[in-house]
């Protein structure tokens, strides 16, 4: 029985979690690490928003964002670097698409592009995203999602219940509609996507902030970090996993499984050395010198050691948008660490 979970452990579990978080490192040090990452995020996205234009390959957009991040954060092993794969999901694809090696997809005039990228300093990940479109048709969709994310940020706080926060987000999102080809469509929150708590070197810290009202009584707690992100859609408002996978991450406390496949053993070693529990994509494996890794990669997924995150898609023909900030729940005030003059 886990020592902390038996009732022999007297302090309330909330106090225990608080103590664990505070024992990790001096909060002021942490704040400065994540502020440094946030400043890099602002500079990279300021350039990206100017540079990204229809006609560009998704591959070039991803590499420009990643090279900019690596240079400005002074990438250095596990000390600082890219937080997770650059998400460049288009149109009905809401999240978790990043170009794989050989991808020749080109950004189109009518596309709605979600740019979701991360920067980390000492494992403190800034996760922030925005949506770009070049045709004004979908501006109301982008406005709806930006407003819903700002509602989520405004209403978030210590002791706020996650289920209640989701209700406020939903209310804002559903107050918008968008006219497409003469048809008025309601903006729907995507019910199976969410914001999430963030832990050191762990993009998903275990708490999810859904986008539709629910009765989750779990509270936000002092010292926690959250990615407050909302997704709106003109489709079903529900995503499924569909298409070729690019995003992967080691499962934090995965069971020790004896691996028969030698190539899987060596790939696992390389993943642990290069990424640890940080999410990565196939391009990052190649950058780390791996080749002919697909069989081993799929084997590690099948063995429950590695989690795959395929693209998350609403129905074809629908449009989805995303805005996201990372916030810190400091004792005296909430800090929207990734806020910039752009969003
Ligand atoms: C493997 O690379 C990544 C990169 C980022 C994340 C961070 N994240 N964690 N969950 C989600 C995300 C994204 C990428 O923000 C998009 C929304 C998605 O919400 C979601 O699925 N919620 C259900 C659990 C209800 C995860 C993995
Ligand atoms: Co996120």
229 is in an annotated binding site: yes
For the stretch 150-175, pLDDT in tens is: 999 999 999 999 999 999 999 999 99
pLDDT, mean of residues 188-212: 97
Angle among Cα 167, 227, 241 to the nearest 5 degrees reads: 80
Check residue 5 and give its pLDDT.
45
- Is residue 204 part of the annotated active site? The answer reads yes
The C-alpha atoms of residue 219 and residue 152 are separated, in whole angstroms, by 14
Nearest atom (ligand 1) to Cα of 249: 1
Mean predicted lDDT score pLDDT of the chain: 95
Q: What is the pLDDT of residue 4?
A: 43
Class of domain 247-308: mainly alpha
pLDDT tens digits, 117-130: 999 999 999 999 99
Annotated active-site residue 60? The verdict is no
The order of strands in the sheet holding 280-281 is: 280-281, 247-250, 306-309
Residue 314 labeled ligand binder: no
pTM: 0.94
Q: Which ligand is nearest to the CA of 203?
A: 1
Per the residue annotation, which of 41, 92, 196, 299 is the catalytic one?
196
Active-site hit among 39, 127, 290, 314: 127
**88-128 pLDDT, tens digit each:** 999 999 999 999 999 999 999 999 999 999 999 999 999 99
- 127 noted as active-site residue: yes
- Helix, strand counts (H, E) of the chain: 8, 18
Q: Has 324 been labeled as part of a binding site?
A: yes
Expressed in angstroms and rounded, the spacing between residue 96 Cα and the centre of ligand 1 is 7
239-256: pLDDT as tens digits: 999 999 999 999 988 888
Residue 11 pLDDT level (bands cut at 50, 70, 90): low
Cα–ligand 2 centroid distance for 321 (angstroms): 13
Domain range annotation of the chain: 13-243+312-336, 247-308
E strands along the chain, which residues? 80-82, 87-90, 93-95, 112-121, 124-133, 177-180, 183-186, 188-189, 194-198, 208-210, 225-233, 240-241, 247-250, 280-281, 306-309, 312-313, 320-329, 334-336
User: 278 phi and psi, to 5 degrees?
Assistant: -70, 140
Known active-site residue 159: no
Catalytic residue list contains 135: no
Task: Give the pLDDT confidence score for residue 3 in this predicted structure.
Answer: 44
For residue 277, which ligand has an atom nearest its CA?
Answer: 1
Q: Are 279 and 227 in contact (CB under 8 A)?
A: no
Average pLDDT over residues 254-273: 94
Q: pLDDT-based confidence at 309, cuts 50/70/90?
A: very high
Written as six digits, the tokens of 84 are: 């997770």
Which atom of ligand 1 approaches the CA of 307 most closely? 1
Task: Name which of 15-29, 130-144, 207-221 the model is least confident about.
Answer: 15-29
**Predicted confidence (pLDDT) per residue in 30-50, tens digit:** 999 999 999 999 999 999 999
Query: Domain 13-243+312-336, CATH 3.90.230.10 — does that match?
Result: yes
Following DSSP, what letter does each residue of 14-33 receive, concatenated? Answer: HHHHHHHHHHHS-HHHHHHH
> CB within 8 A of 240, min separation 6: which ones?
312, 313
Whether residue 10 is predicted with pLDDT greater than 60 in this model: the reply is no
Would the pLDDT of 24 be above 80?
A: no
Q: What is the ipTM of this complex?
A: 0.94
């Amino acid at each position: 029985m886990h020592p902390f979970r038996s009732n022999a452990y007297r302090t309330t579990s909330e106090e225990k979690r608080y103590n664990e978080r505070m024992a990790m490192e001096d909060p002021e040090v942490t704040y400065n690490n994540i502020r440094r990452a946030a400043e890099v995020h602002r500079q990279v996205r300021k350039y990206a928003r100017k540079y990204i234009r229809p006609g560009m390959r998704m591959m070039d957009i991803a590499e420009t964002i990643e090279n900019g991040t690596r240079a400005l954060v002074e990438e250095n092993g596990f000390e600082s670097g890219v937080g997770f794969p650059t998400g460049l999901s288009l149109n009905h694809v809401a999240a978790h698409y990043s170009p794989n090696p050989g991808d020749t997809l080109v950004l189109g005039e009518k596309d709605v592009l979600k740019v979701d990228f991360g920067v980390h300093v000492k494992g403190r990940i800034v996760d922030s995203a925005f949506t770009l479109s070049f045709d004004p048709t979908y501006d109301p969709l982008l406005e709806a999602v930006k407003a819903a994310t700002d509602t989520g940020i405004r209403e978030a706080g210590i002791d706020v219940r996650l289920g209640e926060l989701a209700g406020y987000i939903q209310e804002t999102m559903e107050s918008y509609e968008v006219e497409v080809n003469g048809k008025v469509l309601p903006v729907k929150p995507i019910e199976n996507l969410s914001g999430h708590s963030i832990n050191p070197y762990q993009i998903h810290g275990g708490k999810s902030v859904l986008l539709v009202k629910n009765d989750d009584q779990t509270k936000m707690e002092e010292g926690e970090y959250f990615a407050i992100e909302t997704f709106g859609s003109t489709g079903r408002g529900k995503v499924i996993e569909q298409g070729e996978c690019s995003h992967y991450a080691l499962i934090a406390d995965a069971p020790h499984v004896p691996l028969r496949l030698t190539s899987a053993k060596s790939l696992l070693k390389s993943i642990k050395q290069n990424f640890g529990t940080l999410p990565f994509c196939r391009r990052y494996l190649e950058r780390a010198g791996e080749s002919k890794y697909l069989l081993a990669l799929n084997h590690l997924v099948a063995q429950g050691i590695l989690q795959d995150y395929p693209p998350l898609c609403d129905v074809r023909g629908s449009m989805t948008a995303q805005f996201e900030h990372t916030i810190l729940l400091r004792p005296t005030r909430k800090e929207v660490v990734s806020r910039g003059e752009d969003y």
